[in-house]
A = this chain, B = another copy of it.
Amino acid sequence: MAGAGVDALVLRPSPDFRFLGGREGPYLVVTGDAVAETAEPARLVPEGARRVGVDPEMRVRELFGLAVEAELVPASAVLAPLRLRKEPYEIEAVARAVAAAEGVLGQARELAWFGAGERTMARRLRLLLVESGCEEVLSLRVAAGEHTARPAHPPGERVINPGDALLVSVCGRWDGYCAEVARVFAVAEPPEDFEAMYSVVTAAHRAGLSVMRPGVPVAAVSRAVGEVIDGSGYGRFAAAHAGRGIGLGHDEGPRPGEDTVLAAGMTFCLEPAIYVPDLFGARVADVVVCTDGGPLALGTSPHSLTVLDR
């Protein structure tokens, strides 16, 4: 903490909190010589503390109620670097989460999509997630037709029809660790030109994966993804980023915009995407672990376009 110029950390239940062994909360206060759970964090922050790191998941309403007399900065400056490389037991936990998420998407193929609304299908997926042991659903996307072109589309009333592309993704937490899987389906038959666009996304995914090895800057993953998409002519429709780290948190380092160099033990959600406004979009997301032997995709389900029968 001294290195980051921070005198104390105040955390509340969150990935950082769990990383430091927090159990009940409501707050965990970390100082130079102690770690304690407390209901009154301000009392445990050392007198005269100048800078205090606060949990990046803390809500603004909690922040304004903290009553800590110090400059408040995100605790991530201290903890994010420590969380980048996962221990083997953590990678096993992420792999279990990925297996659960993939299991849900596998079951999703068997559901009756035709004529149902996006929101109805999202509810069914949520049920499958919870049945799989998911403790927290972090994001759940069901987008049909032109909605596949909206990256943050919340499931709505649109009915899923033959000829629609369908973008389905689930992100959740199982036994503390997160996974996300996104796949694309076509309903009865893919829309015109869809397969060509989709094949660019899967090629970009392969390109990103191929460079993920220790010693390579994480920015190289984005470059590899971007080159494929740019070369296809879809460049201006590419998603802004090619992924992000995943582990105790579902959106953590390494981030492509940072200077991080990949190292063994880093877990990354690789998720290239193309969104053509009002027409269609596609995103393929898989969790990958960087190992000394190269990139290892924790998911096993293929990227080939699944056509759902009518």
Q: Hey, which bits of chain A sit against chain B, CB under 8 A?
A: 23-26, 54-61, 63-64, 73-74, 76, 123, 126-127, 130-131, 133, 150, 152-154
Contacts and interface: CB of A to CB of B under 8 A. Distances in A.
A96 to B, nearest CB: 16
| Count of identical protomers in the assembly | 2
B60 A64 contact: no
B57 A74 contact: no
A24 B74 contact: no
Contacts of A130: 123, 126-127, 130
A162 to B, nearest CB: 26
B60 A57 contact: yes
A248 to B, nearest CB: 14
A21 B131 CA distance: 32
B59 A150 contact: no
Contacts of A126: 130
A59 B59 contact: yes
A56 B61 CA distance: 5
Question: What are the nearest 3 A-B pairs in CB distance?
Answer: A56-B61, A58-B60, A130-B130
A76 B61 CA distance: 9
A63 B127 CA distance: 32
Contacts of A58: 59-60
A24 B153 contact: yes
Given A127-B130, A127-B131, A130-B127, A26 B61 contact: no
Contact of A74 (B60, B74, B153, B154): B60
